[in-house]
Structures are given as structure tokens and as C-alpha cells.
Chain A
Amino acid sequence: MIDTLARRCLDGDLRAVARLISLLEDGDKNAFGTLAALKQRSGQAHVIGITGPPGSGKSTLTDKLIGEFRASGKKVGVIAVDPSSPFSGGAILGDRLRMQEHATDPGVFIRSLASRGRLGGLSKATAFALRALEAAGYDIVIIETVGVGQSEIDIVKVADTVVLISVPGLGDDIQVIKAGIMEIGDIFVVNKSDRDGADRVVREIRAMLETQAMLKRGRSVDAGPDTLSARNAEILHHGQNDLRPETMPDRADPFDLPPVMKTIAETGEGVPELCREILSRFEDAKASGELEKRRQASIKSQLKDLVGWQVMDYFVDHEENGRLDNLARAILTREIDIYTAARELFSALIKGERQ
């Protein structure tokens, strides 16, 4: 069964690919075996992460980009991520709506993923889904997610190219400054750029990128962790983000800032230029070895996450009835403190594993 699914994926059987993604989403253990069988294709796709606040037009932009990629003969997979209802656990996934152009193009595969209330785990499902699409031979896989928060950062950090979208008039100062977001963008796009204030947004983003670059540069000159600039760098990205400046190739040249581009997704203006920028940066990164370094860092980060998830899964699977409740009560009544309790749980876990 596993081999058959893997074989079918490699053959480009779309039902098999879709099925595999579902199994991975559900955490089916056999599905990971299937992925393992597909490892010869891993790394073949150019993964592009696109994120932006609601109303930024990112789905429309994604739709237009798909058109560009298709025109150059590339097969495109899209993973569109949407939040699930915290109450019912269900979701309404509507991103396909904005990509109707490609609804019957056999060279485009669009898959909607719901967050299913798993904060960190969403990036897991996305990462697995993208491997499945890669294995099926898609040259480009776009991960599209709304928002500019921590979970979106987690989602797109598996991407080779991260495109961040802003729009004029949406209180941009708030959007862009959020933890870690400036760090991970490779290309910044101001969409709906025919609106008032577009140029101002472009300037603001450039200014922030310059500041960020200066801080990084400052830190790389002063080696120690206690310098002011190092502390500022920490402040800038206080998320659980392994793509810290120190793991990323230093940009010694302060003028090599990520580009800030203007588009009007609705009419397609600026989209061919954006597409070229995405593709050429990718080629440059491949040639210079930067892509390799970046993927290594990303993989290390994913490995850590995977180990962490396995530990947590094991913990949850082996959870004794009521033990957590009892501990929580004991903590509230101050019989035990939370740190000691956690250490006890962890020791039990380790001992259990050894047994």
C-alpha cells in the first residue's frame, strides 16, 4: 500500500498526491514511510512563501504569479493555508476562489489546508504537503498564508523565497514591525500600489530594512553578545525562530537590501517583474551556495521541530489519566512549583523511553 502510493505519486497520479497530503495531515504513520520512499525528489522544487495581512490581495497576486510560471512551462503546486474555527474545529477554505483561472489546468495543483488549531503543527502539515507536491514533480510550490504573526513565520520559513505583501492604508506600521517578520522577507511587495500612500509604504519598508541591516552589521563587527546592537537584534526577533541572523549568511554589503516592489495584482501590473525577481534571486542563491546554506539551516530547524513533536506525541500518548490535572492542582495549592513538576514529568518520560 505504501509503495503503491509512492509509485502513484511519482507517476503524477493526482488522486494519490491528494491522498498522501491528507494522510500526512492526519498524522498517519504509514504516510511518512511513503514520504521516505519519495526522498529522491526532495529539494527539487523552488518553494515560495507568500504571506500578508487580510485584504492585501495575496491570493490575487498568487493567482497572477501562477500564470507567469505556467507561461514559462513550470508546473505549480499551491498550498493555501486558512484558519480553522477554534469552536468547532471546522473551517471554510476559500482561497481557491481567487485562483479560478487555473482551476482546470493540469499543471497546477491547489490544495487548501486548515490550521486545525495546531499552532506549531500547521507548519508541519505544510512542510509535508509541500514534499508530497515536490515528489509529484511540481517545479514550484507556493505556500500562501494570511497574516503576519508567529505562525505564519513558522509556515513560510521552509520556503526558499519569502515574499511579504503589504498594502497602503491598512495601518502598515503595525503589520510590518511584528516580531521576526522583517527578518524573513526576501522580497517585499506593496500591492494595490495604485492607492494613495503606496510610495510612503515603500519608503517605510526600505527604512526598516536599512535599520535592520545596520543593526546586523553592527553586531557582526562587535563579536560579543552583550553589545547594544546584539540586544537590539534579539529584540527584533524574539520568536522561536532558527533563522536568526547568526545562522544566515551575513550580508556584509549594507546595500544588498531585499527589494521592495510595487504591484497591482488585479491588473497584473508589476507581476512579470516580481516573477523575474523571484526566479533570478533563486538562481543566484543556487549559484552562490547561499541556497544550500539556507536550506541546511531550515532543515536543522525542521529536524528540531520534528524531534520536539515526536517527544510531545510520545508524551501525550503515554499520558496517565489525571496526572496532569493532579499536578496542576498541586501547583495551584503551592504543594509543588511548576518547574519542579515539569522536571519530574520529563525525567519520567526519559526513564519510560529507556524502559
Chain B
Amino acid sequence: MERKIRVIVAKPGLDGHDRGAKVIARALRDAGMEVIYTGLRQTPEQIVQAAIQEDADVIALSILSGAHNHLFPRVVDLLKEKGADDILVFGGGVIPEEDIPFLKSKGIAEVFGPGTPTSVTVDFIKTHLKRE
């Protein structure tokens, strides 16, 4: 049986705008992936616990509230703590370009800005999986 790519789609923090997260979830499903949609108001702890239990390959974080510099690195740090840093983590939303180097230095593999076609995200996942 062909191995399925499992992706956690999460919105960390208090931001409630989930149009993008839902569109991404559907696009990933249509690309044959299994998406565990964890919804709004996720803490880094909840996201990481879900990723571990679901044996996820990828965590996709969506945020439009400006709290990314605080929340994204927290997710990566927790993954490291739990010995799960072979999970690919990337983000999208309203994230200023000048913050991207910082986020990448903290272990976020990529940041997809507004207007990124979903096909780009799908391809990125397929070519950047850290496991297997």
C-alpha cells in the first residue's frame, strides 16, 4: 500500500481567519494527502501532541495576527524536546518578509506569503519531507 503523507494543519494563537487554512487542507487532500485539521486556537503544545499521535510528516501553520515570531519557534522547540524534529514545519499567512530569515533560523522550513498557489505548497511538501 502506498504510504500517505500526513499533514497537521493548525492555526496557532487567537487568530480566527481560517479561509486559507481550509483551502490548503482541501488542496492537500486533493493531492492525496491525509490532513489532520486541528482548527483554531491551538497552543504549540496541542499542535505538537497532535503531530506525535498522528505520526505526522508535516505541520502547516497558518497565522494572520502577527504573533508568528513568538508562536512558530515554540512549535519547533517543542518538537525538538520530544525528539520529533524530523517533522517538516512550514507556515503561511500574513508574515512580513523581513521576519522570514528569523523564522527559518528557528527551524521553519519555508513561509508562504499571500497569493502563493496551492500547487507550490503541495510540491514543496513532496520534495522536502524530512522522513523517509
- Direct A–B contact in complex, judged by CB atoms less than 8 Å apart: yes
Q: Which A residues form the contact surface with B (CB < 8 A)?
A: 14-15, 18-19, 21-22, 25-27, 84-85, 87-94, 96-97, 100, 103-104, 109-112, 114, 116
Across chains A and B, which 10 residue pairs bring their CB atoms closest together, nearest first? A90-B29, A18-B55, A103-B46, A22-B55, A90-B32, A27-B1, A89-B32, A97-B39, A92-B35, A88-B30
* Interface pairs (21), CB distance under 8 Å: A14-B53, A15-B55, A18-B52, A18-B53, A21-B55, A27-B1, A85-B30, A90-B4, A90-B29, A90-B33, A91-B34, A92-B37, A93-B35, A96-B38, A97-B39, A103-B50, A104-B43, A112-B34, A112-B36, A114-B34, A116-B1
A93 and B83 within 8 A (CB): no
Q: Which residues of A contact B3 (CB under 8 A)?
A: 26
Q: CA of A111 to CA of B83 in the docked complex: distance in angstroms?
A: 19
User: Which of chain B's residues have a CB closer than 8 A to the CB of A104?
Assistant: 43, 45-46, 49
CB neighbours (8 Å) of B26 from chain A are 92
Q: A97-B37, A104-B43, A104-B46 are in contact. Are A91 and B29 (CB under 8 A)?
A: yes
Q: Within the assembled complex, what's the spacing in Å between the Cα atoms of A103 and B48?
A: 10
Interface of B with A (CB < 8 Å)?
A: 1, 3-4, 6, 25-26, 28-39, 43, 45-46, 49-50, 52-55, 82-84
Given contacts A90-B31, A103-B46, A96 and B83 within 8 Å (CB-CB): no
Which of chain B's residues have a CB closer than 8 A to the CB of A22?
A: 6, 55
Residues of chain B contacted by A100 (CB below 8 angstroms): 39, 46
Give chain A residues whose Cβ lies under 8 Å from the Cβ of B37.
92-94, 97
Q: Are B29 and A92 in contact (CB under 8 A)?
A: yes
**A111 — which chain B residues lie within 8 A by C-beta?**
53-54
Closest approach, in angstroms, between the C-beta of B6 and any C-beta of chain A? 8
A-B interface pairs (CB < 8 A), number = 83
By beta carbon, the residue of chain B nearest A98 is B39
Which residue of B31, B36, B43, B52 contacts A93 across the interface (Cβ within 8 Å)?
A: B36
CB–CB A90/B55 < 8 A: no
Residues of B within 8 Å of A110, CB to CB, are 50, 53
Nearest CB of A to B32, in Å: 4
Closest to B50 in A: A96
Cβ contact of B31, chosen from A88, A103, A109, cutoff 8 A? A88
Instruction: List chain B residues, Cβ under 8 A from A89.
Output: 4, 32
Which residue in chain A gives the minimum CB-CB distance to B35? A92
Give every chain B residue within 8 A of A90 (Cβ-Cβ). Answer: 4, 28-35
The listed residue (A15, A27, A114) touching B82 by CB distance below 8 A is A15
Task: Pick from B1, B33, B55: contact of A19, CB below 8 A.
Answer: B55
Are A97 and B34 within 8 A (Cβ)?
no
Are B54 and A92 in contact, with the CB atoms below 8 A?
A: no
Q: Which chain B residue lies CB-closest to A80?
A: B36
| Bound CA span A110–B26, Å | 22
State the Cβ distance, B131 to closest chain A Cβ, in Å.
10
Cα separation A317 to B2 with both chains bound (whole Å) = 14
A109 nearest in chain B by CB position: B53
Tell me which residues across on chain B come within 8 A of A116, comparing CB atoms. 1, 4
Contact between A93 and B53, CB atoms less than 8 A apart: no
- Nearest Cβ on chain A to B87's Cβ, whole angstroms: 10
Chain A residue at minimal CB-CB distance from B45: A104
User: Which one of A15, A26, A92, A112 lies within 8 Å of B52 (CB-CB)?
Assistant: A15
Residues of A within 8 A of B32 (CB): 88-90
Query: Residue on A with the closest CB to B8?
Result: A96
**CA A27 to CA B26, docked complex, whole Å:** 26
Bound-state Cα–Cα, A12 to B130, Å:
24
Contact residue among B6, B29, B39, B50 (Cβ-Cβ distance under 8 Å from A85) = B29
A175 CB to nearest chain B CB (Å): 26
Residues of A within 8 A of B46 (CB): 100, 103-104
Q: Which residue of B lies closest to A103 (CB)?
A: B46
Q: Tell me the bound Cα distance from A85 to B34 in angstroms.
A: 10
